[in-house]
Structure 1
């Protein structure tokens, strides 16, 4: 959240920057030469961006009438930056948009509906649930580029050394495995995250969510949700269970411990596959185990569906929108998605991109196998923002600074201010 004069100055600066490098909103649509698009790519600048830059060069070689100005925007800044730029009518022509941003930007009129356009000419090739995630109020505002979900990733060698032959199917089994791994290998068995996104599977395992969008009700404190969070909390204390890390670098600490073999299992997404392979514990890629997350008391497992779409800015002129649609179709084609999967170990969004070469990557094959447990997010513009209050409260709960009930009450109150008309 930004506050005060400094925040206003920053917002103004972002708007001016975006106008200078962004789309062509409001133009006549006429051009005497190649159309130059601006694309904001939100992929990891080190591990993923090179593959996207190479695809842009191939696109330009095949489309002499279109040039692409590639801009890599840090993911954690992109949502606010695009919001500011679009409001000033100076956003990029194409955005690599996280799936959770779609409802909010579509509601504001910032994204162009893509139904019936060139960009969605091969719509039937995409996984139906991923197309559904790109929709808002009956219209489609993005073409799925990559998808992801969360899984239990584990070190097969440590599990084998502890005499464990398969991944745990319940959270109680995970606790037992963690204790056994600690006793027999000295490594921690499991290290959990205090981030709300990574706690979401514990809700799904109890048939719960933070909100019931249909009933317009905040459900983060419902008995089922509380049970899920209680299970999440119980995994920070016990033999082989690493205590909660509530520092600003917690994500990196957990990841580093896993790739170096100091912890046997964590919850993680496929965006870290390439980094995992660089770790000392996974020089042999076959050592990486990927399993559906343990189930809750309902007997079912669940994890949030993530990923990114390519969306077109509604404020660009006709010529730029037409070129943008061509670009989006190219970047989301089966061939392009195969290239991205091979280079970045990301999950394609269309079945014809899962070629034999792609499925030879154990990381991709493993995550493809857990996609069945992925749960789509409600088409609620504010849904993703509801994790923000939890990102404040969950670390306090995990570190013992406040009780579970107090923390969830605080989160519930903060959520009520984010969604109009929702009861508690």
Structure 2
């Protein structure tokens, strides 16, 4: 991904009317409205999974509660929303506040585009309420993103299928995962039912998912994405080979069929287990009677070194050159507050605050939601296994890495490439991007 300063040159050649309709009518930055309130421009994708209108409802609720700040929402699509924001910000026509993936993007941080939370009205006491995992939004000792929620890779499994083939509990280790999946695949094939015991999300119709899947298994094998100084890619390592050879064995041993949709197969009963962010639970529930009472969530099976997994989710960030940072901060502290983050748990988003440090009423709401869904036990166990390290590494050469992994991990796992060549290809592409960061 090119640095923002390079994008400025490109953006100057493009019509900002092609970026977003609102960018054509006014410059970026907060301004005063006709009623005397400060206007904050907020650009967001519909992060409330399953309900695209919920973000607008929240903004309307905020506006109704305020006398000094008014938020104007521009809702973008996931397919190109991030790129539109980048171009608009580079052209000086962007929003005051916008949605960004947890971990934040290095281009924004290195170009001093983002306002640190302490300049937006966050106090040390406010920052102390976040979980330690929120360090993924730190840069040079300061927080630049306010987490709305976290995602972590977990395992989903069909309780009915496992029970049918003699398993009363989900696998807890790599060895158990493979033996359980192999038994289901083999026995179902003999019975003419064609059930795949396991599918790696990303080896199917959602190619981008291979990034979260791969980085989870690499982490479990004890691997890293970069050296500690973030200057070199480290995927062609003993851990990388262990992880990729393990994943590859599911296809060479005919346990998993390449191309089978993990999610759709899970809903239809053609896939017994698969990994992905816990937020996919909403998609599973949409399967209705096909899945009702027939599935559950478990922590990821532990690998040779650990049971860690990829961390995702989203944060709010603010433009450091915005017209009114205080107004932007007022909105961010509201939308990313413990009260709102507790609501996000309705789409299985993970609460980013330490429950013991928030208002007792909010703590009670969080505890009630957890008690009402047994899957939260597994999700929280997985959350507790994870650290900020992998995400902080992933921030460097992010786009180059994810593009390289989409091609090379799939090729290495399905046999189109050797494991060594696949891992070397990732390192070569990422190293080139890392060199450009210096």
Q: Does 1:267 align with 2:275?
A: yes
Counterpart among 325, 328, 347 of residue 324 in structure 1:
328
Segments of 5+ residues of structure 2 without an aligned counterpart are 3-9, 204-209, 356-361
- SS of 1:69's partner is strand
Counterpart among 179, 192, 196 of residue 211 in structure 2:
196
Match for residue 386 of structure 2? 374
Distance 1:92 1:117, change over 3 A: closer
- SS of 1:150's partner is strand
Distance 1:184 1:347, change over 3 A: same
Match for residue 333 of structure 1? 337
Match for residue 57 of structure 2? 54
Deviates more, 1:163-172 or 1:28-37: 28-37
Distance 1:331 1:167, change over 3 A: same
Does structure 1 retain, via aligned residues, the 8 Å contact 2:299–2:378?
no
Counterpart among 73, 83, 97 of residue 70 in structure 1:
73
Deviation of residue 275 (structure 1)?
1.3
Match for residue 177 of structure 1? 180
Does structure 2 retain, via aligned residues, the 8 Å contact 1:22–1:93?
no
Q: Does 1:150 align with 2:162?
A: no
Q: Does 1:219 align with 2:226?
A: no
Match for residue 123 of structure 1? 127
Does structure 2 retain, via aligned residues, the 8 Å contact 1:189–1:265?
yes
Segments of 5+ residues of structure 1 without an aligned counterpart are none
- SS of 1:389's partner is helix
Q: Does 1:293 align with 2:294?
A: no
Match for residue 23 of structure 2? 19
Deviation of residue 119 (structure 1)?
4.1
Cα-to-partner distance string for 1:73-129 (whole Å, 9 max, x where unaligned) = 223423322221111111111111101334331112221111264345622221022
- SS of 1:91's partner is coil
Deviation of residue 296 (structure 1)?
2.0
Deviation of residue 283 (structure 1)?
4.7
Does structure 2 retain, via aligned residues, the 8 Å contact 1:23–1:316?
no
Does structure 2 retain, via aligned residues, the 8 Å contact 1:260–1:281?
no
Match for residue 257 of structure 2? 243
TM-score (norm 2): 0.83
Cα-to-partner distance string for 1:1-51 (whole Å, 9 max, x where unaligned) = 89xxxx9877865446463377633x7879862222221222357614333
What's the RMSD between the two structures over aligned residues? 2.9
TM-score (norm 1): 0.86
- SS of 1:211's partner is coil
Match for residue 414 of structure 1? 429
Does structure 2 retain, via aligned residues, the 8 Å contact 1:100–1:383?
no
Deviation of residue 399 (structure 1)?
3.3
Q: How many residues in Structure 1 have an aligned counterpart in Structure 2?
A: 405
Distance 1:209 1:262, change over 3 A: same
| Partners of 1:270 and 1:261 in 2: CA distance | 19
Does structure 1 retain, via aligned residues, the 8 Å contact 2:174–2:302?
yes
